[in-house]
Structure formats: C-alpha cells, structure tokens
Amino acid sequence: MSVVVVQREVVTAWGWGTAACWSGILTGRPAFAPVSRYDTRFFQSRLAALIPGLTAGVEDSLVMQMLRPLLAPLACTLPDDTLVVLAATTGEVDLLERHCLGAAIPPEESCLTRLLERVTGLLGAVDGCVISAACVSSSAALAHGAALVTTGERAAVLVVACDAVTEFVHAGFSSLMALDPGGARPFDKTRAGLTIGEAAGTMLLMSEAEATRTRRPVLGRLAGWGLSGDANHMTGPSRDGSGLERAIIQALAKARVEPRAIGSISAHGTGTPYNDSMEMKAFRRVFAESSRPVYSVKGSIGHTMGAAGLVELILALESLKAGIVPPSANLREVDLEAQDWVHGTALPAPDMRAVLSTNSGFGGINSALIVTP
C-alpha cells in the first residue's frame, strides 16, 4: 500500500511557508543571527537560526507561537480517523525555564504529553501520540505514521513537529562543546560543530486509495523508511556508520529500489566532525557504484532538533518538484571525505526520481526516509 503526502507546511528561520524556506535554502547562505532571548556570553557560540517574530516570555510558549498558525488551516479539514503524531525533543521547555525562574507556571505544563493535548485540542482531534527520539524524532514519527498507513491501522496520519531555540538547549549543547562559534559548516574541511535552530512543520500522510477517495492532491510519496540503533555511545555516532547504513538499506528495501535509483541525499550533516564523517562512510558503502549529490541544510536553517527530519523531508520533496539539488549551505572548502559528493552550489537534476533523507541522534538512533514524486 502506497503512502502519499497530501499536505505539508513549515516555518523556519527563513520565515513562514515552504516557498520561503526553499528560496532561502537555495541561496546557500546561513540564516543565523546572534541570540538576544537570553544571555549567551558564556556559551560556545552566540548564534542560532531563529524564526522572526517569536517572543519569549509571553503566554504562549515558543513552539505554540509556531504551531497555532500552522495548525489553524488544518482544524476542519482532517479526515475523522486521523491520528495526530507530535514529534519533539524538548517541546515547551521554555515553560519549565520560567517555572524554575519563579513564574507561576506548573512544571508539568512543559511535558510533551501536555503539548500533545494542546495540539490535538487545536485540531479537534481525538487520537494522538507524541514521539521523541532525539534528533530523529520527526523521522521516527513519519516512519511510524507510514507504518500505520501501510498496515491498514490508519487511513491518515498527521505528523506535527516542532522544537525551539531555548537557553535550556543552547546551554546544553555548549556544555558538550558541540557548537561552532562561527556557525555550522556541514561537510567543510574545518567544520567545528553545529548551530541550533528552531522550526515547526506538518505533513499529512494517507494511503493512495484514501487520497483518491477524498480527492486530495498527491505532493509526493513516502516510499521507504528505516530506523536503527548504533548501541554504541550516548552522544557520539558509531564511527563506521554501520548503524546508519542498516537504516538506509531498510529504506531501500521498503521502497523496492536499488541504490542507483537515488538521485540525491539530504544528509543529517550537523557540521560536527564525527557526524559528517560517519555519514560519508555510510553513503560511500551503500552507494559504492557511484557518488550521489549530498547536501545538508543545517548550514542554512541550523539543527532544528526534533523538527529536523520533517523539515528536511519537506525540502526533499521541493527538490524533487524543482528538479534541483540544493547547495550544501555555508560550505567554504569541502572535506576530502565528501569530495565529489557534497557541493556548495545548486545542481540541476531534472531526471531525479528519488531522494534519500537521513538523520541521526543522541543515543545512536538513525533514520532513513525515501521520497519519490
């Protein structure tokens, strides 16, 4: 049973809407700016990819400010049996920050299950779950949603993903020395870390039969997916990329395509030395026959954590539609391991028929998703 995408929307540091994000990605430039929401003097980097117009410390959390405009158009249009799957890592943790700083906000208001209640309430939906798997959260949510559709358990699944730039997260990544002070440069020879970003997105998955029955336009197909674990280390990926390789092979098998059918790869590409190296090792083994154009958008919109998988899959669909492989953003000099694979300029690809999107996260979680027209 084919899983099709019938709706998608996103907000990132490039602004509101898929078109704005895609245009920004094509520039190859970073949408980073110094953070003014909190004091960053003691952090490894002052930069983040921030959504214009969000205000910290008001009634709505940062992620609710992102989600309200995204969810409003969906409220009356979802099929009755739609399962809402929320994906996030820290969600409304800014509410916990405010509690700890003395605000009269109960700490349980920051729980992911509470955010799920708010999201399902906005949508008028009955059934929902929240999935969290570190930086693979929304990829795992998409994979689970696709599984529910193909097993016939659900006719429709709406994946909603979000995470915000908060002092909680910024301080944490800084404590791990994981940030590039000058801004993330994925696959660059002298890359030195990631830049955090914030984003939210939605994607409605259906069976093709349900899409036809409800006369919804098909924007693309989620043709394959795979999830795996490294069982190696809490923060560092398996150095040889074998876990990611397994996830990619699962996705290819599910999509029933050979590696040569993949036109381009949207990598996790955080800009940390270990992650980018690990990914290239996995890609070189799976696509041993010939190189594929590889890009990362995290040098543009930052590492959007729980939202990364969904945002990057939306951009992969745009890439298919436009027949263009976007540039790997903020690249100055490509690392030797990525030479002939990663490019700092957009590439025409009018015959591209499939894009692989990969993500990896803390705890050694890996995901691979394949989209086709």
Site residues for another protein per CB under 8 A? 39, 42, 89-90, 93, 96-97, 100-101, 107-108, 110-113, 116-117, 120, 128-134, 136-137, 140, 143-144, 147-148, 151, 153, 167-168, 171-176, 227-235, 243, 246, 361-365
Instruction: Tell me which of 144, 162, 170, 303 is the catalytic residue.
Output: 303
Judge whether 303 counts as a catalytic residue: yes
Q: How far is the CB of 44 from another protein (least distance, A)?
A: 11
Q: How far is the CB of 168 from another protein (least distance, A)?
A: 6
- Which is nearer to another protein, 117 or 340 (by Cβ)? 117
- Which is nearer to another protein, 271 or 361 (by Cβ)? 361
Judge whether 233 counts as a catalytic residue: no
- Which is nearer to another protein, 13 or 112 (by Cβ)? 112
C-alpha 326/C-alpha 316 separation (Å) is 9
In the block, residue with structure tokens 């245009």: 23
* Neighbour count for residue 127 (Cβ, 10 Å): 12
Contact 318, 22 (CB under 8 A): yes
DSSP state letters, 284-337: HHHTTTS---EE-SHHHH-B-GGGHHHHHHHHHHHHHHHTEEPP-TT-SSB-GG
DSSP state letters, 212-259: HHTTPPP-EEEEEEEEEE--S-SSSPPTT-HHHHHHHHHHHHHHT--G
- Which is nearer to another protein, 9 or 92 (by Cβ)? 92
C-alpha 255/C-alpha 239 separation (Å) is 27
C-alpha 313/C-alpha 307 separation (Å) is 10
Q: How far is the CB of 339 from another protein (least distance, A)?
A: 30
Q: How far is CA 346 from CA 23, 43, 285, in A?
A: 12, 33, 24
Give the three-class secondary structure for 369. Answer: strand
Instruction: Tell me which of 21, 135, 144, 162 is the catalytic residue.
Output: 135
Instruction: Tell me which of 144, 170, 268, 343 is the catalytic residue.
Output: 268
- Which is nearer to another protein, 29 or 114 (by Cβ)? 114
Find the distance separating the first CA and the last CA of the chain, reported in whole Å. Answer: 16
Judge whether 268 counts as a catalytic residue: yes
Q: What residues are annotated to the active site? A: 135, 268, 303
